[in-house]
Chain A
Amino acid sequence: MKLQQVNFAIVASICAFILIGVVGIIAPAFHYLPAINAYTFSLTPWVTLFNTPEFVSSITLTLVSGLAATFISLMLAFAAVAAFHQSWILRFFQKSLAPILAVPHAAIAIGLLFLLSPSGWLIRLFTTFERPPNWITVQDPYTLSLILALVIKETPYLIFVILACLPQIKANESLNIGRSMGYHSAAIWQKILLPAIYPLIRLPIFIVLAFSLTVVDLALIIGPNTPSTFAVTVFRWFKDADLNERFVASSGAVFLMILVFLTFLLWECTYRLLSHFAKKFRTQGVRHPTLSKLYPWVGSLYFLLLFFVSLAGIILFIWSFAKRWRFPDIFPSRWSLANIERNGDLLLDLSGNTLFVAIVSTLLALAISIVVLEVKRINTLNTTFFDRLIYLPILLPQVGFLFGIQIFFIRIGFSGHLPAVITLHLFYVLPYVYLTLHGAYLAYNQNYFIQACALTQKPIRSFFQIKLAMLKAPIFSAFAIGFSVSIAQYLPTLVAGNGLISTLTTEAVTLASSGERKIVSLLALMQSIFPLIVFIFAIWLPKVWTPIRIHLKTRLSKPFPPTLSTKK
C-alpha cells in the first residue's frame, strides 16, 4: 500500500516537472514572460523567428546532420552485426561498446577536433606541410565533422541495442534454417532478421534521431557556426544579454520540439513506404542478394570509427602533459606536469562537483527505479503509464525544456545550488537506469525472496540481503550507465547551476574552442576516466563481491571463536 503511494508520488512529480518545463517554454513563445513585464499574448516571437536570417539555413543544417547521422549509424550498426555475426570481429566490436558508450560525447568531440583540424594530429602525422593547410576539416558548413562525431557516438549504441534483441527474434535458429534452404547469410539478414529487428529498436532509433537533431554541446564544439545548427542558434538566443531575445528563443525551442516530432513522422512514413515496396523483393526467393558483398565493407567501417576514437583518446592524453607543442611537431617539444599542478585546485573542485552530482543522482535514480519496478511486479507486469512517460525526458529537446524549468527553479529559490543540479541530472539519469534495470529486475525469480522471508520473518532485510544482493550485477551496470549519463550532462548542469556550479563537462565545453588546449584536454580526459573506472568496477565487482565478502567476514569473525573455545 505504502509502496503504491510512493510510486504515485514519483509518477505525479515527473508529470508535474515535465508540465512546468513545457509550459515554461510555451508561454514566452507567445510573448508571456512576467519577469520582464510581458503580459500580453502575441505572435510576434513567431514572426521574428521566421524572419531571422539564419532560420531556414539553420534548420536545413539540423535536418541534414540529424537525419544523415542517424541513417549512417543505423546502416553501420546493421551491417556490422549482419556481416560479422558469429565471428570474432563482432565479439571484438562488442568489447569496444561499453568504453565508447561510457566516454562523454563532449570528450570525443574535443578529441576529434584536435585530431582533424588543419593543425591537428592527423595532418601532423600523415603530411609534410610546414604550415597548416587552409582546409575546412572541422566545423565545416556541410556538417560532415558533426555527422562523424554523432556517428561515432551513436553506432555503438545501436549495435548494443541490436545485439540485445537477437535472442528475442531467435536469430541463430533463423540463420540455421535459412542456410539449410540455400540462402546466403546476407540474404537471411536482409529478408528476415533486419525487418524483424527494426520494430524492436524503433524507440532507440528515435532516441538517436532526437539526440542528433537537438544536441547542443557536441554541435558547439565541432558543428558549423555560420550558421550553426538550429539547437545551437536557439541556445545562443537564450544566452543573449538582451532579455527580449528570450521570446524568439522560446518560439525557436517550441519549433524545435515540433520539428523533432515531424521528423519522427517523416522517418516512420519513409520506413513504411520502403518496407511496403521491399516486400516484393523479399519474397522473390533470390538466394544471393547483389548487396551481400557490401555488408562486410560497410561493417568494417566500424574499425575506422574505433581508429578515430583511439587516436582522439591518445591526443587528449598527450595534450594534457604538453608544455609546448607547435605545428608541425608530431609530439610536444616540451612536456610538463605544470598543467596539472597549476590547475590542481580547479580540477579538484570540478571533479568533486561532478562526482558528487553523478553519484547522488544515480543512487536516487536506482532507488526510484526499484520502487517503480516493485510496484510493477505486484501489478501483474502490465506496461505501465510510467513505462511510456520515462521516454519523454530523453525525447524532449533539452534546449527548450530546460530553459522552461530554469525560471521555475529560480522562482522557488532553488537555482544555483547542488540539489538543483542533482534534480535535473536525476531527470535525465532515471530513464537510462530504469530501462537498464527493467528486464533483469522483473525476470528475477521471486521465490528466492519468498523463501527468505519465510525463513527469517524479516522481509526488509531479506529484500536487501537476498533479492538486491542477487541482482547486484544488473544494479551495478545500471549504476554505471546512470553515472556516465550524469557525467556527460552539459545543459542541465548549466541551467540548474546558473553559472555558479560547474563540472568537468561544463568547463570542458566552455573552453573547448578557446586556446587552452592543454587544460581542455585534461578536463576531457578526466571526464572520460571516471565513467571508465566505474564501468570496469561494474563488471568486476559483482564477480568478486561474494568471495571478498565471505573472506572479510571470516577474517573479522575468526579471532573471537578461537579465544572463546580456548577458554572452554
Chain B
Amino acid sequence: MVLDMIKKMLTLSLITTGLSYAYADNWQATLDEAKGQTVNFNAWGGAENINDYIEWAGKNIKEKYGVTLKHVKLVDTADAIGRVLAEKAANNVNNGSIDLIWLNGENFRSLKENNFLHGPFSNDLPNYRYIDESSNKSLTLDFGTAVEGMESPWGKAQVIFIHDTETLANPPKSMAELLAYAKENPGRVTYPEPPQFLGTTFLKQALYELIADKTVLANPVDRVDFKQLTQPLWEFFNELHPVSWRSGTTFPSGSEEMIRLLDDQEIDVAFSFDTSAASVQISKGNLSDSVRSYIFDQGTISNTHFLAIPYNSTATAGAEVVANYFLSPEAQLQKQDSTVWGDLTVLNYEKMEKEHQALFDKQPRGVATLTLENLSNSVPEPHVSWVKALENEWRLRYAN
C-alpha cells in the first residue's frame, strides 16, 4: 500500500520533471526560432505614454532575444480585425501582416469564433507561472468568452470615478447617490454613449447595483428574463436622463471627452477604465491638481486586456517571445508606473519572487491614483451576451 503510493508519487514526479524538461526544451526551441524575427505588433497608438512604453519594451526585447518589435500604431483596433478578415478573404493564410495584436472583449470574440487565432499558447509561456487565474475571473473569461490559451494577459483595467475636490468634496458613491446628486444638480452627470465600451460598462455597472440577484449576470442573456430583470435599470435611466448633461440628448464620446467636460466644469463626475487617468491628465495640464479618483462602495467593473496572435502570422515564435516578455515582472512593473503608463499588473503578488515583490512595494503612485488595496473591490464583467442585449435595448429606448 505504502509502497504503491511511493511508486505513484515517483512516477508522478518523474512525469512532471519530464514535462518541465520538455517544456523548457520547447521554450528554448521557440527562443531559437524567434531570433532574428520581426514582430508586427498591432496596438492602438493613440496615447503617447503607451507608445513610449512599447518602444522601451522593444529595445529590451531586441537586446535579450534578438527579436525586433515593430509597433504598428492603430487608430482603432477594429481596423486590424478587418485586416485579418480581409486577408482571409484574399486567401492570404500564411503571410499575414499582423503578428501580435492588443485586444479584448468583442475583438477577441470575433477573431476566436472565426478561427482567426494561433494557439493555444499563453498557458505555456514561462512567465504565465506568475498568474493566479483564481484571483480575477477576467483572466480566463474575457467578457464572458473563454480565453482557453488563445490570448495572453497583458494588463488589468478597472473603472474609476474622477471628481474635483474643490467643486465636489463628497462625490456620489453608488448609482442611487449619483441619481440623487443629478436631481439636485441638473446637467452635471453623464456617461459615454453606448456602444462605446465605457458607456456600455456604465450600463453594466448600473445593472449590477440595481439588480437583487447578481449571479444571474454570469448567465447568457437568453436564459434569463431580460425584460423583467432590466426593468429597474431602465427606470433608473428614465429618471436620470432628464437631469443629466444636455438633458440626455447627447452623450460624450468616451473617457477623454468626459475628463475635458469635468475640467470645463460642465460635469462634476467623470470616469475612466484607466486607473491612472486622473494623474496622467493632471500632469498634462488637462485637469487641476485638486482632482482625485475613487471607486463606488459596491466595487466597480474590472477586466483584463490581452495579446493575441493571428493564425496567419509569419513570426509566431517571435510573437510568443514578445508576449512572454510583456508578462515578465520587469515589464509589468514598468507598465504599472504611473509616470510611464499606469496600467495595472496582471501578475499575482504572492506568486512573485521576493525581489520583485519589493520592487512593486516601492513603486511610487501618481497623486490622484488609488492604491491596489483601494481598488481591491472589483466587479466581474457580465456574460458577453449582455453587451449586445443592453446596447440594443438602450439604443431602442434612448437613441431614436
Q: Write the residues of chain A forming the contact surface with B, with a CB cutoff of 8 angstroms.
A: 33-36, 53-54, 56-58, 118-119, 131-132, 134-136, 139-141, 224-227, 239-243, 323-324, 326-327, 334, 342-343, 346, 406-407, 410-413, 415-416, 494, 498-500, 502, 506-507, 510-511, 513-517
Instruction: Pick the residue among B78, B85, B399 that contacts A53 (CB under 8 A).
Output: B399
Binding-face segment, B29-37, B86-94, B318-326: B86-94
Whole-angstrom distance from the CB of A243 to the nearest CB of chain B? Answer: 6
Instruction: Pick the residue among A34, A240, A517 that contacts B89 (CB under 8 A).
Output: A34
Determine whether the beta carbon of B107 is less than 8 Å from that of A241: yes
Chain B residues near A139 (CB-CB < 8 A): 246, 250
Answer yes or no: B76 CB below 8 A from chain A CBs: yes
Chain A residues near B187 (CB-CB < 8 A): 134
Chain A residues near B80 (CB-CB < 8 A): 499
Answer yes or no: B239 CB below 8 A from chain A CBs: no
Determine whether the beta carbon of A324 is less than 8 Å from that of B285: yes
Residue interface bits B90-118, CB-to-A below 8 A is 1, else 0: 10100001000000011101100010000
Determine whether the beta carbon of A510 is less than 8 Å from that of B90: no
Determine whether the beta carbon of B266 is less than 8 Å from that of A119: yes
Answer yes or no: B351 CB below 8 A from chain A CBs: no
Whole-angstrom distance from the CB of A253 to the nearest CB of chain B? Answer: 15
Residue interface bits B358-397, CB-to-A below 8 A is 1, else 0: 0000000000000000000000000000001000100110
Given A53-B396, A227-B399, A499-B74, decide whether A132 and B265 contact each other with a Cβ distance below 8 A: yes
A406 to B396 CA separation, bound complex (whole angstroms): 30
A140 to B251 CA separation, bound complex (whole angstroms): 10
Determine whether the beta carbon of A416 is less than 8 Å from that of B264: no
Whole-angstrom distance from the CB of B184 to the nearest CB of chain A? Answer: 13
Question: Can you show 6 pairs from A to B with CB atoms below 8 A apart?
Answer: A119-B261, A131-B265, A240-B195, A346-B48, A407-B89, A516-B256
From B105, B106, B260, residue with most partner A Cβ within 10 Å: B260
Determine whether the beta carbon of A410 is less than 8 Å from that of B264: no
Chain B residues near A343 (CB-CB < 8 A): 48
Chain A residues near B188 (CB-CB < 8 A): 134
Instruction: Name B80's closest neighbour in chain A (CB-CB).
Output: A499
Answer yes or no: B83 CB below 8 A from chain A CBs: yes
Chain A residues near B285 (CB-CB < 8 A): 323-324, 334
Instruction: Name A509's closest neighbour in chain B (CB-CB).
Output: B75
A416 to B186 CA separation, bound complex (whole angstroms): 46
Determine whether the beta carbon of B400 is less than 8 Å from that of A54: yes
Answer yes or no: B38 CB below 8 A from chain A CBs: no
Instruction: Name B245's closest neighbour in chain A (CB-CB).
Output: A134
Determine whether the beta carbon of B260 is less than 8 Å from that of A499: no
Determine whether the beta carbon of A54 is less than 8 Å from that of B110: no
Chain A residues near B92 (CB-CB < 8 A): 413
Whole-angstrom distance from the CB of B373 to the nearest CB of chain A? Answer: 28
Determine whether the beta carbon of A136 is less than 8 Å from that of B75: no
Chain A residues near B127 (CB-CB < 8 A): none
Residue interface bits B135-179, CB-to-A below 8 A is 1, else 0: 000000000000000000000000000000000000000000000
Whole-angstrom distance from the CB of B303 to the nearest CB of chain A? Answer: 15
Determine whether the beta carbon of A342 is less than 8 Å from that of B48: yes
Chain A residues near B250 (CB-CB < 8 A): 136, 139-141, 224-226
A58 to B252 CA separation, bound complex (whole angstroms): 18
Determine whether the beta carbon of B110 is less than 8 Å from that of A140: no
Whole-angstrom distance from the CB of B311 to the nearest CB of chain A? Answer: 14
Whole-angstrom distance from the CB of B78 to the nearest CB of chain A? Answer: 5
Instruction: Pick the residue among B87, B259, B288 that contacts A515 (CB under 8 A).
Output: B259
Residue interface bits B277-290, CB-to-A below 8 A is 1, else 0: 00001000110100
A494 to B266 CA separation, bound complex (whole angstroms): 32
